[in-house]
Structure 1
Amino acid sequence: MAEFPTSEELRLLIPCDDPMTTKEEQLYPIFRVPAPLRSIAPEKFSPQVLSIGPLHSPAWNSEMPQHLCSIYSEMDQYKLISWRKIFREDMPDQEVPFLRFLHQHKHAMLASYGGRFEKDHKRHIDKFVNLVALDSCFVASLLHWLFQEDFPYLKQKMSMDEIIMATKVCTTAHLFPIYSRNLPRPLQKAMLEDILLLENQVPLIAVKQAIKIESKCRSDEEAEKILELFVAALAHRVLPFSRSRRNVLYSVKRLSVGAYHLMDMMYSIVCMQVDPHPTSEILHINSAPFEPTVRGMPSSNRIYMSGIKLRGHWGSLNEISFDNGKLFLPKIHVGDDTERYFRNLIAYESCFKTDRLDVVSYLHLMDFLIDTPEDVSLLVESKVITEAIGSNEKVAEMWNSLCRNTMCLFSPKYKDVSERVQHYCKSPWRMMWAEFYRSNLSKPWLVASLLSAAALLILTLLILWYTVLIYNNDKKQS
């Protein structure tokens, strides 16, 4: 079996002065997390087992610790297998066009990393294209494997055309159905977490092209649709918010057009609000200006004491509401990967999506609601937080640390909900009624006792009234 082409072979295949090479105007932002955010939890931004792209590649980081180099190098064999599987067995004639395509976009891809790896000597450009080609093929194979595992569940929510296309995709040979059986489950889980780190990305155009070849697509449009199905499977597997598979599919549609990388797509899915009308597939994004000042929100227990009921529902983080004394929040699965996921979303939104405050607004709202482990317990009982990993103390500590070194800002929607909740909590009569309800009416046996006491009191009053009437009649007759 032939080896992956070396840099020198790439230079002979695709010379850097190739007339097809053009400078792409679009950039694909992949950058280092700023020091104020990284200093809080550096390990949350570094891959555990899988290095994608040059920012954490041992070949491009000479000062990387040796133990990390050995960990990342262990995955290179699987990257090479994915490359050979795509080009040596199924599509050997597509290898050179694929490399030519990457060279056409090399300037934009180099600029995507802030010019960090842009070199004048063509040997470095060959090395960069080599790395992007290898990693994009591996990501395509990884997504293909994940989709094939989840296809029996996803197809229940897919259209007939999507099922036909997906069935054809699942029959094509690729890496992981063969080799993933030998990979431990913790390693598979770590790989899925690593491909969603901000610093661990490759431009999506490279992944799309690899998917087009790996899945034997006839056109770019078909490759777009397959990418959407792949990302839907990934989103349903890793996203912390509880959403139905149909809603996940609706959210992913058309997101691949103009998306920068997988992290960008996951951010858009998390912040999407699906039109509740069942026949509509229109997606709404909250892009209104932010509110520069935020007043403190009461904690969950303080809200509960004021008579507000907390309710968890299926939806994205933008689908919150307050109506008739009920605060509706999206259900969220809190696991050992939740903190890593949110910290990377915060970094991406704070540095690139500066006109958006969706993630920061949600995390600050939850930070206000959670002060103590008792607040976590209440949110678990209300089914806002599900499958909490660890003790309530650890969950509360995680939420209270997520917003460190971030500005406390709310989007207009969050600001409106916050103000209405605060106004509701200021009423002393509501608090008195809520306390009376919890003390006397919240349990069936208390209600039965209260009704029995009320009936006895009414009966006593009736007897007293009847006795007074008899006494007055006897007095008149006498």
Structure 2
Amino acid sequence: MASVNPFVAPTSGDQPWVDQMRKTLKTQIAVPIDTPPLSIFSIPQILKDEKPEAYAPQRIGLGPKHHFQAELYQNMQQNKLTAVKRVIKPHQVPDLEDHVAERIKQIIPVLSPCYDSFPETDEDAFAWLFAIDGLFLLDQLGVYLEKGFAIDEKDLIMLENQIPLIVLKEIEKALSQSGENVDDFWESKFRFFSQSNSPFLLSKENIDFSRVNHLLDYMYHSIINNETSSRDVSFIKPGSIQAEKPATEELMEAVIQAAGLIPAAKPFLGLLQSVEKVLYETEDESTIQEIRVPSVSELCETAGVKFVLATSEEGIRNIAFVDGTCFLPVITLGYDTEVILRNLVAYEKLMAKNSMMGGFGLELTEYVDFMCGIIDSAADVKMLREQKIIEGDLRDEEIVKLFNGIGRSLGNMSGQSNLRKTVAEMNRVYNDVPSVRLKNEAEKQARAAAKAITFLVSISGTLVLAREAFVQASGSDTTQMLFSFVSEKLGSF
């Protein structure tokens, strides 16, 4: 049977591509369901490198990205089949293929666009894959609702492991005999699972289930409150914007390059390179960045800032700094929280970057950046725990490791968000403390002194190189080239 992936680049001319597009569009239009948005992504390698096990399922592989992974398949396939039998038995479904797989097969044309990469295989294979995994997910959510546990909750919430909601709706329609509202059926299961596993309080408002993409998407919007942000998001590719070097650093580099041209000046080369390394060595690119804000301990002890638990109805959008008091929502941290938090943040960033419909900001990402900034030690965690801002059974040291291990987002809001304004006000209060002002001024003077030293070293090195040039190649082209090179740099300083 023909491939169900219409997005593979053609290899044999234009007409096959035209035929393929004509067929694809025709089949998508024939399906009486709107094509869902792209919402299931492969995790970028930069995130996988931070913590691979946070994004790759350890026991349960769902959907085309992980279903056939050898170890997951071997250990879980029979459990999936057992779960399928458990679900369909009460409904007296005589033939899974006729009642469920065939129904899913009809929506394959609008199912593949949910994924950023969809492997090539035939429609029957995908229909069975989604039927088995969808029924298994239904079974696990049902067991969780009744008994409070599943085989592996964190695997069910991973971004690459999501099953599109349209698959689950088709399954329930195939099984239901009572005409029960399918949205209500799935919302009850999604909400209970999300309430039990979300690190944050969920919105009390009903989520528009017609716009829910999958389980992770439901949890995300329940946290964010499913409100459209008016702030645009711009993404900066790492390394695409080169930082401007100070003139003193450029001059030092010029002197070093000149020294490399003169054999007799090479003894000075190592000295100059050492000075440059000390003065201008940049941080390791792998160093994790975090939002610029002092830690909880520094803010409390130095600036008298208080941290207080916000009201029980408030979430991450309600963070505020008023009259020296920072109001924060509760966050509950357990052993699976990091996996859930990382996948929520990854989903937000990828949707903000790829969603054509908009509606995705970086609010959750900014909150995580903020927590990474204010938590530097177990003392910071202890202060927040005493105020009931942090709850859960994760130890203080593990919480520090969690927030210090999550890398800074590469996405930036084009406008200043409420959280950024809060951070700016906290920094202003902190920097107005006399001792902090004195420290900042001392650091400023130290940087100025370093520049002055660099200038003196550069001038001295230049004079030495000039003398060597005259001795070795008086009147030669090398001398003229050296003087032109150094004079140009001196003129730009």
TM range (shorter): 0.5 to 0.7
Aligned-residue sequence identity (percent) comes to 23
1:385 is aligned, of 367, 390, 410, to 390
Q: Label 1:318 to 1:230 Cα distance change in 2 as closer, same or farther (>3 A).
A: same
Query: In terms of mean alpha carbon deviation, does 411-420 or 124-133 score higher?
Result: 411-420
In the TM superposition, residue 127 of structure 1 has moved relative to its aligned partner by 0.4
Length-normalised TM-score, structure 1: 0.65
Residue of structure 2 equivalent to 1:231: 190
In the TM superposition, residue 255 of structure 1 has moved relative to its aligned partner by 3.1
Task: Report 1 or 2 for greater relative contact order, CA contacts < 8 Å, sequence distance ≥ 6.
Answer: 2
Q: Is the 8 A contact 1:364 1:408 kept in 2?
A: no
Residue of structure 1 equivalent to 2:295: 299
In the TM superposition, residue 424 of structure 1 has moved relative to its aligned partner by 2.4
- Where does 1:51-130 land on structure 2 (aligned, <5 Å)? 51-58=61-68, 61=69, 64=70, 67-85=71-89, 87=91, 89=92, 91-92=93-94, 96=98, 98-119=100-121, 124-130=122-128
Residues in 2 aligned to 1:353 and 1:78: alpha-carbon distance in whole angstroms? 38
Residues in 1 aligned to 2:348 and 2:410: alpha-carbon distance in whole angstroms? 11
**SS of equivalent residue, structure 1 residue 367:** helix
AA matched with 2:123:
I
In the TM superposition, residue 411 of structure 1 has moved relative to its aligned partner by 5.8
For the pair 1:211 / 2:213, whether they are aligned, the reply is no
AA matched with 1:113:
Y
For the pair 1:366 / 2:379, whether they are aligned, the reply is no
AA matched with 2:185:
I
- Where does 1:59-458 land on structure 2 (aligned, <5 Å)? 61=69, 64=70, 67-85=71-89, 87=91, 89=92, 91-92=93-94, 96=98, 98-119=100-121, 124-149=122-147, 188=150, 190-214=151-175, 216-218=177-179, 222-241=181-200, 243=201, 248=203, 250-251=204-205, 253-272=206-225, 284-289=227-232, 296-305=292-301, 306-313=303-310, 314=312, 315-354=314-353, 355-390=360-395, 392-404=396-408, 406-407=410-411, 412-428=417-433
**SS of equivalent residue, structure 1 residue 318:** helix
For the pair 1:45 / 2:44, whether they are aligned, the reply is no
Give per-residue Cα distances to partners, 1:57-112, cap 9 Å, x unaligned: 12xx4xx4xx444323342233332453255x2x5589635444322320121232
Residues in 2 aligned to 1:428 and 1:20: alpha-carbon distance in whole angstroms? 65
Q: Is the 8 A contact 1:310 1:379 kept in 2?
A: yes
Long gaps (5+) in structure 1 = 1-6, 8-15, 151-184, 273-282, 432-478
Q: Is the 8 A contact 2:87 2:139 kept in 1?
A: no
**SS of equivalent residue, structure 1 residue 75:** helix
AA matched with 1:289:
D
Residues in 1 aligned to 2:55 and 2:82: alpha-carbon distance in whole angstroms? 23
Residue of structure 2 equivalent to 1:10: none
Long gaps (5+) in structure 2 = 2-23, 237-289, 354-359, 437-493
Give per-residue Cα distances to partners, 1:428-478, cap 9 Å, x unaligned: 3899xxxxxxxxxxxxxxxxxxxxxxxxxxxxxxxxxxxxxxxxxxxxxxx
In the TM superposition, residue 33 of structure 1 has moved relative to its aligned partner by 0.4
Residues in 2 aligned to 1:53 and 1:295: alpha-carbon distance in whole angstroms? 36
AA matched with 2:107:
H
Residues in 1 aligned to 2:38 and 2:140: alpha-carbon distance in whole angstroms? 21
**SS of equivalent residue, structure 2 residue 159:** coil
**SS of equivalent residue, structure 2 residue 50:** coil
AA matched with 1:194:
D
Length-normalised TM-score, structure 2: 0.63
Q: Label 1:191 to 1:110 Cα distance change in 2 as closer, same or farther (>3 A).
A: same
Residue of structure 2 equivalent to 1:165: none
Q: Is the 8 A contact 1:47 1:197 kept in 2?
A: yes
Residues in 2 aligned to 1:380 and 1:255: alpha-carbon distance in whole angstroms? 34
